[in-house]
Chains A and B, each alone.
Chain A
Amino acid sequence: MKITQKIIPMAFVLSLFAGSDAMADIKIGITISATGSGAAIGVPAKNTVALLPPTFAGQNVQYIVLDDASDATRAVSNARKLISVEHVDVLIGSSIGPTTFPLVDIAAETKTPLIVMNPATGLVEPMDEKRKWVFKILPHDTVLAKGIADHMAKNGVKTVAFIGFNDAFGENWYAAAEKTLGERGIKIIAKESYTRNDTSVSGQVLKIVAAKPDAVWVGASGTPAVLPQKALKERGYKGQIYHTSGVASMDFIRVGGKFVEGAILPAGPIIAASELPDDNPIKKLALDYIQRYEALNKIPFAAFGPHLVDSVRLISDATPEALKIAKPGTPEFRAALRDGLENVKAVVLINGILSMSPTNHSGYDDRARVMVRVENGAFKLLR
């Protein structure tokens, strides 16, 4: 192992100084969970920092990246530091729910636009004085859940068992499942939970198998989502198993092996980028990102990295208008940038096509989602 490669990102505070004229630079503060329990989501973002554009809208851009160690307190102090010491123009963060939610209050209090990289709907809804400073670069859970519910309805599924994390992630997905399935008249006949670090889910799975659902929906993320899938297969469950977009990384397949074959999940378009039709504008962006990420980091990309690129692209889209009103580093610029972010229309991102409005700060349509199936150790687009 190359030790140096590991130590440099550890030493952290990865500031990329893009030019000499530091006074009028646009400053972007980023806090991510590069270590701790959210590291699986934070590390791909950290690995993406070096791919961010050094300039846009004719301005030098300075990125200040801090690690919040998946700790809410640290996320708060990072945000405070970025805003009051570094005077950033916009804040991006963080990777998981517990480190993201506290940032909303800080953004509103300091009148700094905040771009969140977490799927929770509650970050931007219901829209109010606080949340108007917050923009979500991920589609709502319901956009993704709709894909699962539609697929179930199309395949004649009548009853579903849900097994998910015993935390906010699992509960959010359960709420999304309840809503989307309810609209289609599909019944949830069992709800079980487990924790990320559990070593066995045999009990829960026995109960699910006994309830005989037509399909099972696993509300879990990353490699811990393999556990119920594996236990279900071992118990001889024959129905279709659905997962959330949280498992859309190669690690899921690496750990799950033959047990996750046939699993169906919704995901951002990047997961099946090479299979997208050529006229899809997302395809080029996504392939370009994958190529640059893998060339730089020498490891396969994960679907959590593009959020950072998309966030910066969104900012660069809103910057020219804001520059007409004020100079970077001033409260007026931050307010103008917020207004600009609220007015972006049909901007093409890796995550989808995004149009913001004063009431919707995560304005993705169904193009932000593809349905994929695990086949022969890869995610294959379902047509």
Chain B
Amino acid sequence: MDATTLLLLGQDSLISGAIYALLAVTMVMVFSVTRVLFIPQGEFVTYGALTLAALEAGRVPGTAWLLLGVGAVAAVLAMTRARQTLTFLKAIRILIIDVGLPALLLLIVHWAAPLKLGLVPEMLLTLALVVPLGPLVYRIAFQPLAEASILVLLIVAVGVHMGMTGLGLVFFGPEGYQTSAFSDAVFELGFMNISAQSIWVVTTTAALLLGLYLFFEKTVSGKMLRAAAISRRGARLVGISTDRTGYLAFTLTALIGAVSGLMIGSLTTIYYDSGFIIGLKGFVAAILGGLHSYPLAAAAALLVGTVESFSSYSASAFKEVIVFTIIIPVLLWRSIFRPPVEHLE
């Protein structure tokens, strides 16, 4: 292996590592705040990429309808749950937020999609369509079970994953899509070609990670999330609503998932079921980070990216095997030296 190959593989691993890092960090966040191992994280990547692809093609993406449907379900659930204290005004408020806004968004998309407004407005529209799915999914699937065991939440997460993959097939079809790149420019650095798109991916990832850090350290909402992560009961005792931290965690996770989708969609072909394997690699990184430490998870994600691209070079037939095998020594090490602590909640 010569220096050129080494550098090219390094560049490749940095790009995929960046995406895995974003997913790993949000997975750690969601797990520590809500105790949900959020398997469907990858679906937000797919939805983000495919929604943008549909908008670029001038079509109304299925996610616009999905948002309306999911919003309606959430509204019905919210009203049933509050049926004892439901007033007319409250019902109207729920309806406006959960059904009215998605309906408005649907109208906007119907108007905007055929106009092909260009990459940036389409990206914003994509985020507006995909991100609200995060908190809505939390309200429908996880909030009623917020106090259930980790295992139950995991099973629900698997169910949500299957549902979202199936809907992805219905909305986007079986074939893959690629979105146009943020920039087609290619810089030549000696013997290496570096595409502007890959620089964009790495800087966006760095900016998002820095943003998350500042969010957790400097803002009240971020501190609420940290408090809920340390102890749900303690957080409630000091007046932090764990429902709200749940929404917040899922909103962030959907946002970061969708942004990852926007970035990766131009680098590779995305299928309705691509998200799972991407999310799973983020999950491997999160496990390597002990499902606890953000910096460790991010570093582990870079490791996963590196292992992946070097094994695809030297033993392509065993690539996935190698990537998923690195989880075993870590699990062994953890089970011997750091026995699991049962959460007393």
Measured in the bound complex, the distance between the Cα atoms of B11 and A203 in whole Å is 11
Taken residue by residue from 249 to 286, chain B's Cβ proximity to chain A (1 for < 8 Å, 0 otherwise) reads as 00000000000000010011101011011100000000
Q: A10-B170, A199-B278, A224-B269 are in contact. Are A204 and B316 (CB under 8 A)?
A: yes
**Stretch of B70-78, B90-98, B171-179, B330-338 at the chain-chain interface:** B171-179
A201 within 8 A of B: yes
Which residues of chain A come closer than 8 Å to B193, judged between CB atoms?
A: 234
Q: A40-B175, A193-B317, A203-B311 are in contact. Are A6 and B170 (CB under 8 A)?
A: yes
Number of interface residues of A (CB under 8 A): 39
A206 within 8 A of B: yes
Q: A194-B316, A199-B274, A210-B5 are in contact. Are A255 and B177 (CB under 8 A)?
A: yes
A107 within 8 A of B: no
Q: Quick check: B316 and A193 within 8 Å, CB to CB?
A: yes
Q: Quick check: B277 and A40 within 8 Å, CB to CB?
A: no
Q: Quick check: B269 and A204 within 8 Å, CB to CB?
A: no
Q: Quick check: B267 and A202 within 8 Å, CB to CB?
A: no
Which residues of chain A come closer than 8 Å to B267, judged between CB atoms?
A: 199-200
B182 within 8 A of A: no
A166 within 8 A of B: yes
Q: Quick check: A202 and B273 within 8 Å, CB to CB?
A: no
Q: Quick check: A197 and B271 within 8 Å, CB to CB?
A: yes
Taken residue by residue from 2 to 24, chain B's Cβ proximity to chain A (1 for < 8 Å, 0 otherwise) reads as 00010011001001100000000
Q: Quick check: B174 and A194 within 8 Å, CB to CB?
A: no
Q: Quick check: A223 and B16 within 8 Å, CB to CB?
A: no
A35 within 8 A of B: yes
Which residues of chain B come closer than 8 Å to A198, judged between CB atoms?
A: 268, 312, 319
Measured in the bound complex, the distance between the Cα atoms of B166 and A37 in whole Å is 11
Q: Quick check: A203 and B175 within 8 Å, CB to CB?
A: no
**A 180-201 contacts with B by CB, 8 A:** 192-201
Q: Quick check: A200 and B175 within 8 Å, CB to CB?
A: no
Shortest distance in angstroms between A218's beta carbon and chain B's nearest beta carbon?
13
Measured in the bound complex, the distance between the Cα atoms of B193 and A36 in whole Å is 37
The CB with the most chain A CB atoms within 10 A, among B15, B174, B271, is that of B174
Which residues of chain B come closer than 8 Å to A124, judged between CB atoms?
A: none
B169 within 8 A of A: yes
Which residues of chain A come closer than 8 Å to B5, judged between CB atoms?
A: 206, 210
Number of interface residues of B (CB under 8 A): 41
**A 220-251 contacts with B by CB, 8 A:** 222-224, 226-227, 234, 249, 251
Taken residue by residue from 295 to 327, chain B's Cβ proximity to chain A (1 for < 8 Å, 0 otherwise) reads as 000000000000011111110110110000000
Q: Quick check: B317 and A3 within 8 Å, CB to CB?
A: no
A299 nearest CB neighbor, chain B only: B173
Measured in the bound complex, the distance between the Cα atoms of B174 and A201 in whole Å is 21
Measured in the bound complex, the distance between the Cα atoms of B273 and A193 in whole Å is 20
B62 within 8 A of A: yes
A179 within 8 A of B: no
B31 within 8 A of A: no
A194 nearest CB neighbor, chain B only: B316
Q: Quick check: B60 and A1 within 8 Å, CB to CB?
A: yes
Shortest distance in angstroms between B33's beta carbon and chain A's nearest beta carbon?
28
Which residues of chain A come closer than 8 Å to B276, judged between CB atoms?
A: 197
B216 within 8 A of A: no
Shortest distance in angstroms between A166's beta carbon and chain B's nearest beta carbon?
6
Measured in the bound complex, the distance between the Cα atoms of B9 and A249 in whole Å is 32
A207 within 8 A of B: yes
A39 within 8 A of B: yes
A43 within 8 A of B: yes
Which residues of chain B come closer than 8 Å to A35, judged between CB atoms?
A: 166, 169
The majority secondary structure among interface residues of chain B is helix
Q: Quick check: B271 and A203 within 8 Å, CB to CB?
A: no
Taken residue by residue from 27 to 46, chain A's Cβ proximity to chain B (1 for < 8 Å, 0 otherwise) reads as 00000000111011011000
Which residues of chain B come closer than 8 Å to A6, judged between CB atoms?
A: 170
**A 283-335 contacts with B by CB, 8 A:** none
Looking at the complex, which one of A1, A195, A224 makes contact with B62 (CB distance below 8 Å)? A1
Shortest distance in angstroms between B22's beta carbon and chain A's nearest beta carbon?
14
Q: A195-B320, A197-B273, A223-B269 are in contact. Are A1 and B312 (CB under 8 A)?
A: no
B180 nearest CB neighbor, chain A only: A257
Looking at the complex, which one of B174, B264, B317, B319 makes contact with A43 (CB distance below 8 Å)? B174
Q: Quick check: A223 and B176 within 8 Å, CB to CB?
A: yes
Shortest distance in angstroms between B149's beta carbon and chain A's nearest beta carbon?
30
Shortest distance in angstroms between B15's beta carbon and chain A's nearest beta carbon?
8
Measured in the bound complex, the distance between the Cα atoms of B273 and A199 in whole Å is 12
Which residues of chain A come closer than 8 Å to B173, judged between CB atoms?
A: 39, 43
Measured in the bound complex, the distance between the Cα atoms of B193 and A50 in whole Å is 51
Looking at the complex, which one of A10, A43, A203, A251 makes contact with B309 (CB distance below 8 Å)? A203
Q: Quick check: A227 and B312 within 8 Å, CB to CB?
A: no
Measured in the bound complex, the distance between the Cα atoms of B59 and A223 in whole Å is 20
Shortest distance in angstroms between B319's beta carbon and chain A's nearest beta carbon?
8
Q: Quick check: B309 and A200 within 8 Å, CB to CB?
A: yes
A202 nearest CB neighbor, chain B only: B12
Q: Quick check: A199 and B312 within 8 Å, CB to CB?
A: no
Q: A1-B60, A203-B312 are in contact. Are A223 and B271 (CB under 8 A)?
A: yes
Q: Quick check: B176 and A224 within 8 Å, CB to CB?
A: yes
Which residues of chain A come closer than 8 Å to B309, judged between CB atoms?
A: 200, 202-203
Measured in the bound complex, the distance between the Cα atoms of B273 and A35 in whole Å is 11
Looking at the complex, which one of B176, B264, B310, B314 makes contact with A255 (CB distance below 8 Å)? B176
Q: A200-B268, A202-B8 are in contact. Are A223 and B175 (CB under 8 A)?
A: yes
Measured in the bound complex, the distance between the Cα atoms of B319 and A166 in whole Å is 10
Measured in the bound complex, the distance between the Cα atoms of B62 and A226 in whole Å is 25
Q: A199-B267, A199-B268 are in contact. List 18 more A-B contacts (CB 8 A).
A: A1-B65, A36-B169, A43-B174, A197-B274, A198-B268, A198-B312, A200-B15, A201-B312, A203-B310, A203-B316, A204-B316, A206-B5, A207-B313, A223-B175, A223-B176, A223-B269, A255-B176, A257-B178
Residues of B at the A interface (CB closer than 8 Å) are: 5, 8-9, 12, 15-16, 59-60, 62, 65, 166, 169-170, 173-178, 193, 264, 267-269, 271, 273-274, 276-278, 308-314, 316-317, 319-320
11 contacts between A and B (CB under 8 A): A1-B60, A35-B169, A37-B273, A43-B174, A193-B317, A203-B312, A204-B313, A224-B269, A234-B193, A251-B176, A255-B175
The 7 lowest CB-CB distance pairs between A and B, nearest first, are: A203-B313, A203-B312, A39-B174, A223-B176, A40-B174, A202-B12, A251-B175
